[in-house]
Amino acid sequence: MAKNTQTPTLKILPLGGLHEIGKNTCVFEYDDEILLLDAGLAFPTDDMHGVNVVLPDMTYLRENREKIKGMVVTHGHEDHIGGIAYHLKQFDIPIIYGPRLAMALLRDKLEEAGMLERTNLQTVSPREMVRLGKSFVVEFIRNTHSIADSYCLAIHTPLGVVMHSGDFKIDHTPIDGEFFDLQKVAEYGEKGVLCLLSDSTNAEVPGITPSEASVIPNLDRVFSQAEGRLMVTTFASSVHRVNIILSLAQKHQRKVAVVGRSMLNVIAHARKLGYIKCPDNLFVPLKAARNLPDQQQLILTTGSQGEPLAAMTRISKGEHPQIKIRQGDTVVFSANPIPGNTIAVVNTIDRLMMQGANVIYGKHQGIHVSGHASQEEHKMLLALTRPKFFVPVHGEHRMLVKHSQMAQAQGIPSENIVIVNNGDVIELTGDRIRVAGQVPSGIELVDQAGIVHESTMAERQQMAEDGLVTVAAALSKTGTLLAYPEVHCRGVVMTIQPKLLEELIVRTIENFLTERWSEFTHGSNGSTEVSWNALQKELESSLQRLIKRELQSSPMVLLMLQTDTPIELDQVPQSISVASSTPTPRKKVVLTKTPEPKVKAKPEKKVVTTAEPSGQPVSATKVYRRSRKRSTTSVSS
């Protein structure tokens, strides 16, 4: 018998974080074992109506859930741990290892989602090694980043060591005194690193990223010059920055009122773990702060990225119930906009200025530094690790290209470097690296109700662009109109008179019933039955074509029908959901094309069939208003 001479391979599958900023998620697979590295999220763009978070497509992990041995986490930022609670609803992760702060933040997320029992959270210390399955042993190596407790990972596999940089910069004067463990990194370089996967976020930026400590004198100057109230916004997870702000508040004898749930959570955990050290009496409730002189107040808040529901955004719009901007306030943005947020941030700044605030922002102020390495730090990591193969990760395409060029300049052959997309399968052997295929990638959109399907997003986009037309019509069992149909338009640009459009719609319904009613009726046991689902779809399509032709646009069309013929529930097809709000004999049947009852931005297409106990039809107006009351959608013109 011929022996199996197949060369063993390690597969690396990045599911997120490539050609983008956010949702960093990576899979390592050897034989029948899978190790997960981080599971982050991203935030929606302006055209993702009603979406709260964006996740990577996890189809591959759902299909291979039995192979998952555990997860390792590099640090506690949302783009690295924010997706874990969502994923645990779809597949189990037996154990998750990570830094103390990241695990504390993750525990809160899992408790809130009711997912804490689905996994086992374990904290690690610098240079600690953990085993996951038979194929993977991981050592955690301290690095420096904008959040405390951040690590590089040395992943020992049967083929050799794969190093993952995590998010990093090389800060020689870290705020917490925890230095990048370059000695351990160099030791791995001496022994031999098979492959390096490295953060590319600032690969376009020349030089060295300044130390976090460099913002202290600049923030100190701003604090000393502020004569009235002082408001500061930054990333809640930037523990080092928050620590600096609190220390300066003590120095300038200001009491701190913290606004924003995420800011409160991070400060609480960071104080408990010793990353933030300050007395309890530094903090005061927001209501108590209002009783202090302006020059003794500091309001520390979320909203540095112009997030719609964040405290600083609401303050700028005059919508915060307790904080109103007044002349003499100083507002400090100790953060730069991340890609995609610039417009939201500058709009927030404009609104604050128009209300009389002195807003301090921008790179020239020196009140923010990045948490990611610049080019000289990338070169240093490449020089220390001396990897045989290299994969740039965590960045947009131009960043990945620039990083690969630096690696070639450091002596790594171009054939040993791959620039990949989300979902690409990197196949690694002892002497070769290549892209060997692709698994499902893409994104999954989540709102408050759950996963938002592609068809639902298309409908939301359609309504956002062209508006909504609703038509309510009452039909007899013989296919004639019982009342004049009601037509309502919301958010629709009218190119003809509304009355004319209404007449055209009514005429279309009448012609449809006259010419095609027989297509949707059939006899059974001496009685006539109507295929309401098919009737609704066809009539709605006819109305859509009419409206598109007359208005030269494509608004969402919602057709609601009512009949005087009672329908027995056992005659309703499986695709029809039944709704009943009262214990009376009245029965309502709702035909739903996409059954997502909590969708916020788009009403569903429905047929409503209602009969009173007396057999007399309810008026079309009555059913229409009742249907609108049940809807969760509010569309204004």
Binding-site entries: 368-372
Name the H helices within 144-238.
182-191, 216-225
Return the half-sphere exposure (C-beta side, CA atoms, 13 A cut-off) of residue 205: 16
Task: Return the structure tokens found at 422.
Answer: 């989300």
Q: What is the signed CA dihedral for 534, 537, 538, 541, rounded to 10 degrees?
A: -170
Q: Sort residue 257 into left (φ over 0), alpha (ψ -120 to 50) or beta.
A: beta
Distances (CA, A) of 165 to 197, 209, 245, 390, 442: 6, 16, 28, 12, 24
Please state the residue numbers annotated as binding site for substrate: 368-372
27, 34 contact by CB (below 8 A):
yes
Residue 399, helix vs strand vs coil: helix
Query: Tokens 């500091």, residue?
Result: 298
Sheet holding 389-393, edge to edge: 129-132, 136-143, 150-157, 160-164, 195-199, 389-393
Q: What angle do CA 586, 589, 591 make, to 5 degrees?
A: 165
Task: Return the structure tokens found at 477.
Answer: 């069992």
Return the half-sphere exposure (C-beta side, CA atoms, 13 A cut-off) of residue 531: 13
Q: What is the signed CA dihedral for 186, 192, 195, 200, rounded to 10 degrees?
A: 20
370, 145 contact by CB (below 8 A):
no
Question: From CA 195, how far away is CA 183, in angstroms rounded?
Answer: 18
Question: From CA 588, how far away is CA 581, in angstroms rounded?
Answer: 9
Question: From CA 41, how far away is CA 106, in angstroms rounded?
Answer: 13
Residue 190, helix vs strand vs coil: helix
Residue 362, helix vs strand vs coil: coil
Question: From CA 208, how far away is CA 366, in angstroms rounded?
Answer: 15
